[in-house]
Chains A and B, each alone.
Chain A
Amino acid sequence: MAAPDNIVTIRNLSKIYLQGEINVTALDNISLDIAAGEFLALLGPSGSGISTVLHIIAGIDRPTSGECHVQGIDVARLNESQLADWRNQNVGFVFQTFNLIPVLTAFENVELPLLLTRLTRRARRRQVETALELVGLADRAKHLPKQLSGGQEQRVAIARALVTDPALVVADEPTGNLDSHSAQEVLGVLRALSQDAGKTVIMVTHDPKAAAFGSRQIHLEKGELTK
């Protein structure tokens, strides 16, 4: 079983897609432990399967075989609505395209996951403000996404991922759409999350320079761990 300080335990995980007549093996028998509080960089070329691993850990995709335990819970065993609740409480998502809701302000975008909780309006406000401060955008709360730079949008997305205070933050190519300066900022914030706030951060990237920000790097190629 999982060591007590491992937040994620993956054993013999495989994911096979059926594309027409052909089986596409996205993940081939992977085993991996992720310690609580680390900033793990999953590095691999396009098509290597890194996103798939991340999706399975974060509970938005299911493996073909094998197991993935997060905080001792076999995520694949949860049904759709249990999974939705679990994600809301335990996982924060950051994507390559920032995916903010264009008609909502930065504040409202960050508040979105809290609408599913029982928090009072005041408690929600406090948490949103804290999250925006953490990413250095407290002064942009009233801005719409289109009034923000790419780097700022991605930091709002990180604040949205943080606001429920999840144990796990997953980021799929968070710097893929950013210039190098904004990328540095975003990576700095993610690193601070793990170092200062004690979150476990799992980042997927094609870029070795980005991966260097992680406290550990794992390489994936053609669905297999190479290191």
Chain B
Amino acid sequence: MTLPTFILKNAVRNKRRATLSVLSVAVSLFLLVMLQVALRELTNPIDDEGSSLRIIVRSKVSLAQPLPARQLQTLERIPGVAAVSPFSFFGGLYKGDEKFTSFAQFAIDPQRAQPLIADAKVPPEQLEAWKADRTSCIVGKLTADRYGMKIGDRLQFTGQFYPCDLDLRVAGIYHGTADDRNVMFHQKYLDELLGNPGVVGTWWVRAASIAEAPQVTDRINQAFANTSAEVRAESERAFVLGFVSMWANIKTLISGISIVVVFALILVTVSTMSMAIRERFRELAILKAIGFRRRDLFVLILAESFGLAMLGALVGAGGAWVLFHNININQLTNGLFLVFEVTPQMMGLAFAVAASLGLLAAALPMINVARTSVVQGLKTLD
């Protein structure tokens, strides 16, 4: 026998309790990781160079209020504006999945929007075909894969906010954007269907440089101040965050739940560990008598508590990691979540929680053992 085997035998002497301790740590840390993953997915907007350059201009009154098409000329003359395109959210129901259409359709000007969708990779001939055909569209690869859409297919959308339906031909399939789910079609086609009302949903603007983007935003807001159609321009990031702000309460909720989970975990683990040591008080006194120093006993207690907590973390956080790496959350949640990614930080958090747990759970028994003399310890009943 060696000291490590002795520690191991002690740790599993009550198999049911050891299992329950490990499982309670594991389940809680699994939950903690899952909450962190969901939180990240809900509140982490796309953050790349393209999205820092892109600006969304919408009506100051509300997002649903359309903007006059004539604003285009004014926008194009504002210094620092590199490109402008209409950007109208159609929000139709896809014939084929009316229950839940998991992707958006945007009407844009393919020519003008070119710099705005530069990160979307499309074969050149598909891009040309799309530009050439007013009733065609390009589809994100995630959506195309999900519904088995191919070039030449016709997609029908029933309007929900617009009094018209779309009938689009798939001209191309793109990938490489942060969210390869959307359908892009011609604003001109939408205008025709609506009888050319001379409005767009929002404007999509590309600033000439990231440094200039904030001023460009201000200039746009000022340019339409005191007109009949005042606007609110904001970076795409801020715009997405605005959408996300309705998740703010959820964020607080999730953080709250996380704290409660960790706290409950601490209480449970500390009490089980104290119990496990307390019923061994006599034995620890004997060990002291036969020459184990206080330090040796600390090592025994700490190793046991730390070991159980770490095993729990391995099962719980490790389990979450394996699980989220092997399931397609996009399919599982019908496209509500794109990616469910366990980051190294989350794993770090889980293991840090487990480590503190191991220390904390060992602390009380260690203090008790340190305070108790051999004679006192021998007098405690089994």
A116 closest partner in B (C-beta): B291
Q: Which residues of B have CB within 8 Å of A102?
A: 13
How far apart are the CA atoms of A102 and B286 in the complex, in Å?
A: 13
**Contact residue range for chain A?**
20 to 34
Q: Judge whether B293 and A99 touch: CB under 8 Å.
A: no
Report if B54 contacts A (CB, 8 A). no
Nearest CB of A to B232, in Å: 70
B10 closest partner in A (C-beta): A103
Report if A178 contacts B (CB, 8 A). no
Nearest CB of A to B64, in Å: 70
Stretch at the interface among A33-41, A84-92, A180-188, A189-197: A84-92
Q: Judge whether A93 and B290 touch: CB under 8 Å.
A: yes
Contact flag A84-B9 (CB < 8 Å), given A60-B374, A93-B286: no
Q: Judge whether B293 and A80 touch: CB under 8 Å.
A: yes
Contact flag A84-B373 (CB < 8 Å), given A115-B1, A116-B296: no
- Chain A, residues 108-148, CB within 8 Å of chain B (1/0): the string is 10011101100000000000000000000000000000000
Q: Which residues of A have CB within 8 Å of B292?
A: 84, 116
Nearest CB of B to A11, in Å: 22
Q: Judge whether A115 and B293 touch: CB under 8 Å.
A: no
- Chain B, residues 222-243, CB within 8 Å of chain A (1/0): the string is 0000000000000000000000
Q: Judge whether A84 and B291 touch: CB under 8 Å.
A: yes
Q: Which residues of B have CB within 8 Å of A155?
A: none
Q: Judge whether B291 and A88 touch: CB under 8 Å.
A: yes
Interface residues of B, count at CB 8 A: 25
Q: Judge whether A55 and B1 touch: CB under 8 Å.
A: no
Q: Judge whether B9 and A104 touch: CB under 8 Å.
A: yes
Q: Which residues of A have CB within 8 Å of B283?
A: 99, 101
How far apart are the CA atoms of A85 and B293 in the complex, in Å?
A: 8
Q: Judge whether B374 and A103 touch: CB under 8 Å.
A: no
How far apart are the CA atoms of A222 and B288 in the complex, in Å?
A: 29
CB proximity to B under 8 Å, residues A65-114: 80-81, 84-85, 87-89, 93, 95, 97, 99, 101-104, 107-108, 111-113
Report if B147 contacts A (CB, 8 A). no
Report if B282 contacts A (CB, 8 A). yes
Report if B375 contacts A (CB, 8 A). yes
Report if A206 contacts B (CB, 8 A). no
How far apart are the CA atoms of A116 and B296 in the complex, in Å?
A: 9
Q: Judge whether A115 and B373 touch: CB under 8 Å.
A: no
How far apart are the CA atoms of A95 and B283 in the complex, in Å?
A: 12
CB proximity to A under 8 Å, residues B106-120: none
Report if B289 contacts A (CB, 8 A). yes
How far apart are the CA atoms of A136 and B294 in the complex, in Å?
A: 33
Q: Judge whether A80 and B294 touch: CB under 8 Å.
A: yes
Nearest first, the 6 closest Cβ-Cβ pairs linking A and B are A88-B291, A60-B374, A103-B13, A84-B293, A113-B290, A108-B1
Chain B residues close to A by CB (< 8 Å): 1-3, 6, 9-10, 13, 282-283, 286-296, 373-375, 378, 382
With A81-B294, A107-B1 known, 8 other A-B pairs at CB within 8 A are A60-B375, A87-B291, A103-B10, A103-B13, A104-B6, A112-B6, A115-B2, A116-B291
Chain A residues close to B by CB (< 8 Å): 55, 58, 60-61, 80-81, 84-85, 87-89, 93, 95, 97, 99, 101-104, 107-108, 111-113, 115-116, 160
Can you report 5 A-B residue pairs in the complex whose CB atoms are below 8 A from each other?
A: A61-B374, A84-B288, A85-B293, A93-B286, A97-B282
